[in-house]
Structure 1
Amino acid sequence: MSQAGSQDRLRIDKWLWHARVVKTRSLAAKLVADGHVRLNGTRTDSPAKAVKVGDVLTIALERTVRVYRVLALGDRRGPASEAQTLYEDLSPEPPGRLAVT
């Protein structure tokens, strides 16, 4: 398999795992396969689907919905501080939360 082009894309399940959205890569694959992930607004059920910098992922988790813009792909699953550099959190505020003034 050629490495050309592999630097600008990463499997969606691997990216979710690198970004610490889930604890294991198999859980990431299941999340995608079960239809809980949208890539740029389109539902995907293929864990092998490739993501690139600039893509927007909408992820339906147990009690919340996360919206992340991919800023980097990452080479490994590092500490949480490193994982947070992989995305910009665009998630809406949870309903029912009041702004404190």
Structure 2
Amino acid sequence: MSENNQPRDIYDAVADPTRRKLLSLLADVEEMPLHELTVQFQMGRTAVSKHLAILKDAGLVIDRKVGRETRYRLNAAPLREIQDWVSFYEKFWNRNFVRLKQLLQEEQP
């Protein structure tokens, strides 16, 4: 958790492209060790670990130790908050697409 023992904001956690790529990589596997994640980026192990820590603080990643290795897996449940927020605006877009379609049909000869 972050410094105030508050979970990190999920929107902040997914705002960074590196963290979104980490989530994408973890979505394709059951779990992945840090060294395998690190080779996917042009940054060092420490930098990748910091990104994973932010995702972990947001509840998006779960880690476990296997010997000296740390393995990470996706916990997609918190992403439901983002999905719910975006789906609220889907009504707006659908309504506007219907209006656009009507307008285009009216303009056709």
TM-score (norm 1): 0.28
Of structures 1 and 2, the larger Rg is shown by 2
* Structure with more contact order per residue of length (Cα contacts < 8 Å, sep ≥ 6): 2
TM-score (norm 2): 0.27
Q: Which has the larger share of helix?
A: 2
